Amino acid sequence: MDDPPSGAHASDLVEGDLLRPMLRVAWPLVVIQLLQVMYNVADTFWLGRLSADAVGALSLAFPIVFLFISVGGGFTAAGAILVAQHTGASAAAGTGDREAGRVAGTALGFVTLVAFGLGALGYVAVEPALALIPADARTATDVVPLAAAYMRVFFLATPFLFGFYTFVALMRGYGDTRAPLRVMVVSVAVNVVLDPILIFGWGPVPAYGIEGAAWATFVARGVATAVGWYVLFGTSAGPEIRPSDLVPDLGIVRRILRLGVPSALEQSGVSLAFVVLTALVATFPPAVVAAYGLGNRLISLVFLPAMGLAQAVNTVVGQNLGAERPDRAWRAVRAALAVVSAVMLPVAVVAAAFPDPIVQVFLPPGSAGAAETIGYASTYLRVASVMFVFLGVFEVARGAFRGAGRTTTALVLSLVAVWVVRVPATYAAVFVYDLGTTGIWWAVVAGDTVGALVALAWLARGSWTEAVVEPKSGVPADD
């Protein structure tokens, strides 16, 4: 990993051909997201062979865990935006990127402090958070204790989670996405090997059950963080960060907060919505809870191309607006919208046509309580396929706004999709119109479809390209 920065460098992104360097940034991000989901898929795969209740426990745990993670995630996103804009401004001016290194160092130090605080808070909040979920009687007895056991171990890994997330975000803002990909491969390999050993036991290693999946994540993320920090401080890859840069610079922290607070509110607002949605789903029997969690994980797989492309758009838009080239930023967004639509449409057709075989890969028909869960999850996947193109468009649009520093706009769009549409639609389907699980699945479709349409209308206004960056300071303009 001592090579010069790989992937698309800033000069590639702000000059010459646009689509090819953007895709060079995007494809490692898509693979990184695929490997990220492999963490969850590996857990689901092996826990599905333990019991359907263990899969249901992940369904309850994940939204609460993500709620805590999302708070710090907003600040990693802010670091990426500032690094991208400083890198673009430096490339346009033909100067060095030392300011990008100072921003990256402050972001790394600041987010690490936030991670320790969130990890401690999450650990002590496990039981109170789960107690708020109005679970079905059998779900409360069989599933909730498993979720608590998983979450307690998971929160111990929070500093390692954020250490790696920040590394990926900073390298992405710089335009280097291949180094994070190599680190991610190592981390996932560790997790995949450890999962079955720690869940079921092997030789002298005892069986930890669902806690084993969390311990595997702990070790794998620790390895990723160690390697990532070595790349940043021990190689020439990425922005030039010095150890002294880890001491937070208050001026940079203010800029991180300015961009990061809306991003944190966006991610935590979405996460809180998913906690509420999970609580509504938990009023159903365990088979529905497990199907909801399994369906969401399958949708997250479908989501990968859109997420990777959106992160690439984030970088390309940030660097081009930093270089005062809004026309290239617009071209990047239009190209990304066309690509994501072309990718998501055939995926939607396959999911609609073959939901049962897809679901059964992750929950074999012979395991305990599987048949009913498979039926619900297959229906969920078939209904959700209707929104796949809208899901991709929505994510790319929000990536464009974030890259432009318009994090408040991205916040509003996300909250509209989940709090204005999806949560009320789910509540109405369950408690007002008694539509059962079918209503839950269609509420998911409604949220992202409406969000995509609103986002496209907002993009068309074009105001997000106006006076976004001061080239010398790299400070984004107000929303």
User: What whole-number distance in Å separates Cα of residue 87 and Cα of residue 474?
Assistant: 9
Tell whether 220 is covered by a domain. yes
Tell whether 36 is covered by a domain. yes
Contact 233, 73 (CB under 8 A): no
Q: Which residues contact 131 (CB under 8 A, 6 or more apart)?
A: none
Give the pLDDT band (50/70/90) at residue 10. very low
Q: Whole-number mean pLDDT of the chain?
A: 80
The 10s digit of each residue's pLDDT in 264-278 is 888 778 778 877 887
User: What whole-number distance in Å separates Cα of residue 406 and Cα of residue 456?
Assistant: 15
Query: Is this prediction's pTM over 0.75?
Result: no
373-408 b/e with 16+ CB inside 10 Å = b? bbebbbbbbbbbbbbbbbbbbbbbbbbbbbbbbbbb
User: What whole-number distance in Å separates Cα of residue 161 and Cα of residue 321?
Assistant: 30
Tell whether 1 is covered by a domain. no
Split into its structural domains, the chain has a count of 1
The 10s digit of each residue's pLDDT in 154-172 is 898 888 888 888 888 888 8
pLDDT over 50 (residue 3): no
Interior CA angle at 11 toward 9 and 14, to 5°? 110
Q: How many CA atoms lie within 13 A of 241 on its CB side?
A: 28
How do the residues of the chain divide into helix, strand and coil, expressed in percent and rounded to 5? 80, 0, 20
Please give the residue range of the domain that contains residue 369: 10-465
Outline where 157-303 has alpha helix (H).
158-174, 178-200, 210-234, 250-281, 286-302
Tell whether 478 is covered by a domain. no
Tell whether 17 is covered by a domain. yes
Tell whether 267 is covered by a domain. yes
- Percentage of the chain modeled with pLDDT above 70: 89
Q: What is the model's pLDDT at position 467?
A: 39
Q: Which residues contact 433 (CB under 8 A, 6 or more apart)?
A: 439
257-283 b/e with 16+ CB inside 10 Å = b? ebbbbbbbbbbbbbbbbbbbbbebbbe
Tell whether 38 is covered by a domain. yes
Tell whether 4 is covered by a domain. no
Q: What is the model's pLDDT at position 478?
A: 42
